[in-house]
Amino acid sequence: MALQEKLDRFNKQQEKCQSMLSNIAAKSSSSRAAVAPKPAPAPPFSGARPSAPVKFSNDTERLQHINSIRKSPVGAQMKRVIDILFQTRQAFTPEQINEACYVEVNGNRDVFEGLRKNPKVYYDGKRFSYKAKHDVKNKNELLVLIRKFIEGIAVIDLKDAYPNVMEDLQALKAAGQIWLLSNFDSQEDIAFPNDPRVPIKVDDDLKELFRSIELPRDMLDIEKDLQKNGMKPATNTAKRRAAAQVQGISAKPKPKQKNKEFSKKAKLTNAHLPELFQNLKNS
């Protein structure tokens, strides 16, 4: 009987402990839910200046420039591409053209077709390159080309052959391998070969015509004929004569008079040095 009472008392104590533990757990959870998060403390006031305003990206100006190029007329965009091709003398894909001068060839059909049909542009199906009138790339090839044109070739047709073609033309002229003569009608230089192996025959009629031309005797008439043929005289006789009249100077130069004093000194020198002329007397 006493054992049963002790067992009942133990069970009651266990129930009481369990109840106390449940109450403690309930109170702790409710207290955590009731606690509100504290707001972060405001930063202390600082008298320093506010940070600089945010600037646009450095790319903004470049993007505006690209946009203005792509909105420009087709002819202006084509000129940019041709200038790049001419300066570099390299072949460019449409993507490389876009990177070099911001012209979108693939995105603008008019620009693409204009370049493909332009006589100064060569398109091989993938790349664009500059197309000169004559396909020469150095001084030796240039000389070979000029020698093929016995009657002369216009320098304007050679200017775009390669970047330093004009320097090579002057070098060939200085070496006596070509002639550079001006055309009176167009005022353009003509390159002629100066090759002794090339036979050049001049008609007798042309020789006779050249010999029959009589030049004017007065410089004024000569200067007028030069101006009539599109040439600029190196002298201005009318201006020179007018200045001479104003200053009272005769147009014809006076004959030089012999210096009498110099002649007297020469005679004295000859008299004092007779041995210098002894051989002349004996001869």
Going by the DSSP 8-state scheme, the letter that residue 276 receives in this structure is G
**Residue 220 carries which side chain, given as an amino acid letter?**
L
Helix, strand, or coil (residue 35): coil
Helix, strand, or coil (residue 216): coil
Question: What pLDDT, on the 0 to 100 scale, is given for residue 113?
Answer: 94
Question: What pLDDT, on the 0 to 100 scale, is given for residue 171?
Answer: 95
Give the global pTM.
Answer: 0.48
Q: Which residues pair with 129 in a beta bridge?
A: 122
**Per-residue pLDDT tens over the stretch 39-55:** 555 455 444 455 555 45
Residue closest to 220 by CA, chosen among 235, 207, 205: 235
Contacts for 182 with CB less than 8 Å, ≥ 6 apart? 188, 189, 190
**Residue 144 carries which side chain, given as an amino acid letter?**
V
Better-predicted residue by pLDDT, 1 or 243: 243
Q: Which domains does the chain have, with CATH numbers?
A: 60-130 (1.10.10), 139-193 (1.10.10), 204-243 (no CATH)
CB 115 within 8 A of CB 128: yes
Cα–Cα distance measured from residue 231 to residue 213, given in angstroms and rounded to the nearest whole number: 18
**Residue given tokens 């409710």 in the structure block:** 30
With a cut of 90, say whether residue 15 has pLDDT above it. Answer: no
**Per-residue pLDDT tens over the stretch 17-32:** 677 767 776 766 665 5
Question: What pLDDT, on the 0 to 100 scale, is given for residue 219?
Answer: 87
With a cut of 60, say whether residue 116 has pLDDT above it. Answer: yes
With a cut of 60, say whether residue 233 has pLDDT above it. Answer: yes
Q: Which residues pair with 190 in a beta bridge?
A: 154, 181
Query: How far from 189 is each of 125, 138, 176, 223, CA to CA, in Å?
Result: 37, 20, 16, 22
Question: What pLDDT, on the 0 to 100 scale, is given for residue 54?
Answer: 45
